[in-house]
């Protein structure tokens, strides 16, 4: 029983106690008054209306009519055996009893109808309030969907422009990089400054990376899926980015399942997801540190509990990538997967948006969380049966 039910129960007990007390008190004066004083008895009988009305108002027909019946049973023997004054007083007494019962029933019925109407209106108000909340929620969802549609339209136009621009820039950048490498090899030490050639190579690589990101955001999957080992793709990606991480004095420490994890799809999708997440982790760390990658195979037993028959359990490959960077503020976690959103001054905001696009297209799951005291954790889940 909750607190509200306890309150109503205590209030009902209080009102019934008051009705009983008033009935006993009036009956005491009624029975202690000499029978010869009929006019006083008639006056005292009017006071019985008080507990009858209280019962009718508080408890409806049961309270009003029930109290009137009890009072009638109390008063009737007194009228029959003790009243003095002839048939006139007896008739008035019986008429008073009839009036008690009529008032108790009609007043209780009226109070009960009003209470039912009030409860009905209260329930209708609650339902209207709930409907209003649902409408407000649906309106907010529709506004969000409209904003997403407008955003998608803008992205579609931007994607087409960027794809065309990136395609035109990729080949000249490759030519510039190749020419710089040839000059760096053929010119003597007196005719060149090695550090400037290296800057040219590095900046050309960075520009090529930006161009590839734009192309990856704009291009759609060709749908050529094969069966590949996800664990092996993750291992190779860690090895591939290990040298780049070591240049920044960052160690990539990974722990992977010993068994293979075969899934159907394009291995380049998983490779691109892992590359972008790892690059994001490396770039978020200004000081020497470590990036942890932990991949485990989980078993989702929910499907086996819904039916009596044994069902094949869903298997999930969960990949957690943790860094020791500055971390992402809680209010920015919902924004990091949007295109062109970046917390770094030199960031393009494309890496994680590409990750989100691939994850959604493959029906995987990804989430980001701030790690205490510093750092960020990305959790990627790939499920299969």
* 136 in a structural domain: no
Cα 237 from chain centroid (whole Å): 35
113 bridge partner residues: none
Q: Is 247 found in the same domain as 379?
A: yes
- Rounded (10°) angle between helices 351-362 and 267-283: 150
Residues, the chain = 385
In the DSSP assignment, the letter for residue 312 is P
Of the ranges 110-124, 125-139, 151-165, 329-343, which one carries the lowest mean pLDDT score?
Answer: 151-165
* 147 in a structural domain: no
**Cβ–Cβ < 8 Å for 216, 272:** yes
pLDDT in tens, 213-263: 665 555 555 556 788 999 999 998 888 888 778 888 889 998 998 888 888
pLDDT at 123 over 70: yes
Region 136-147 average pLDDT: 80
pLDDT of amino acid 381: 92
pLDDT in tens, 151-210: 666 666 566 666 656 655 665 666 676 676 676 666 655 555 555 556 666 666 666 666
Highest mean pLDDT among 68-72, 281-285, 311-315: 68-72
pLDDT in tens, 289-344: 889 999 998 876 544 444 444 445 578 899 999 988 877 777 777 778 776 667 66
Q: Is 232 found in the same domain as 93?
A: no
pLDDT at 61 over 60: yes
Contacts of 266 (CB under 8 A, 6+ apart): 221, 222, 224, 225, 226
Residue-range definition of the domain harbouring residue 29:
3-130
* 324 in a structural domain: yes
* CATH number of the structural domain spanning residue 268: 3.30.565.10
Last residue of a domain, one of 97, 130, 163: 130
Q: Is 246 found in the same domain as 104?
A: no
- For the chain, how are helix, strand and coil distributed in percent, rounded to 5? 65, 15, 20
Cα distance between residue 207 and residue 165, in whole Å: 13
Last residue of a domain, one of 95, 130, 165: 130
Domain count, the chain: 2
* 170 in a structural domain: no
Last residue of a domain, one of 130, 151, 173: 130
* 320 in a structural domain: yes
> Residue 275, class by beta-carbon neighbours within 10 Å (0-12 exposed, 13-18 middle, 19+ buried)?
middle
- How many CA atoms are closer than 13 Å to the CA of 212, on its beta-carbon side? 12
Region 352-378 average pLDDT: 85
Longest dimension (CA), the chain: 145
Q: Is 380 found in the same domain as 238?
A: yes
Q: Is 352 found in the same domain as 243?
A: yes
Q: Is 260 found in the same domain as 117?
A: no
Contacts of 269 (CB under 8 A, 6+ apart): 221, 358, 361, 362
Return phi, psi of residue 345, to 5°. Answer: -65, -35
Alpha-carbon radius of gyration of the chain: 42
Q: Is 231 found in the same domain as 126?
A: no
Mean pLDDT estimate for the chain? 77
* 142 in a structural domain: no
Region 275-294 average pLDDT: 86
pLDDT at 147 over 60: yes
* 137 in a structural domain: no
Q: Is 378 found in the same domain as 250?
A: yes
Cα distance between residue 100 and residue 87, in whole Å: 20
Which run of H or E residues covers position 320?
strand 314-322
* 269 in a structural domain: yes
Q: Is 256 found in the same domain as 124?
A: no
Structural tokens at position 246: 């070591």
């Amino acid at each position: 029983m909750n607190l509200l039910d306890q309150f109503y129960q205590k209030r009902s007990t209080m009102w019934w106690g008051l009705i009983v007390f008033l009935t006993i008190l009036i009956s005491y004066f009624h029975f202690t008054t000499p029978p010869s004083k009929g006019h006083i008895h008639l006056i005292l009988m009017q006071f019985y209306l008080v507990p009858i009305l209280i019962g009718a108002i508080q408890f409806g027909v049961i309270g009003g009519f029930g109290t009137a019946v009890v009072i009638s049973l109390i008063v009737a023997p007194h009228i029959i055996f003790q009243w003095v004054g002839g048939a006139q007083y007896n008739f008035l007494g019986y008429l008073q009893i009839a009036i008690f019962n009529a008032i108790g029933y009609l007043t209780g019925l009226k109070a009960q109808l009003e209470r039912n109407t009030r409860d009905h209106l209260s329930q209708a108000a609650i339902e209207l309030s709930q409907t209003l909340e649902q409408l407000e929620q649906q309106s907010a969802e529709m506004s969000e969907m409209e904003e997403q549609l407008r955003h998608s339209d803008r992205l579609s136009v931007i994607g087409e422009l960027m794809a065309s621009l990136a395609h035109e820039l990729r080949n000249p950048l490759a030519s510039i990089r190749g020419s710089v490498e040839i000059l760096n090899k053929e010119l003597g030490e007196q005719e060149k400054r090695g550090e400037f050639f290296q800057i040219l190579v590095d900046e050309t690589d960075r520009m090529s990376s930006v161009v590839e990101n734009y192309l990856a955001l704009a291009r759609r999957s060709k749908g050529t899926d094969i069966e590949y080992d996800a664990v092996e793709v993750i291992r190779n990606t860690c090895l591939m980015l290990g040298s780049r991480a070591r240049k920044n004095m960052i160690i990539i420490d990974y722990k992977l399942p010993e068994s293979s994890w075969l899934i159907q799809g394009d291995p380049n999708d998983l490779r691109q997801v892992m590359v972008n997440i790892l690059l994001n982790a490396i770039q978020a760390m200004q000081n020497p540190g470590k990036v942890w990658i932990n991949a485990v195979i989980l078993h989702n037993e929910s499907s086996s509990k819904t039916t009596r028959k044994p069902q094949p359990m869903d298997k999930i490959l969960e990949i957690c990538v943790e860094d020791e960077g500055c971390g992402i503020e809680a209010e920015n976690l919902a924004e990091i997967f949007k295109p062109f959103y970046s917390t770094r001054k030199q960031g393009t905001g494309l890496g994680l948006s590409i990750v989100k696009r691939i994850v959604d297209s493959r029906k995987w799951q990804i989430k980001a969380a701030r790690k205490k005291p510093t750092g960020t954790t990305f959790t990627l889940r790939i499920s299969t049966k």
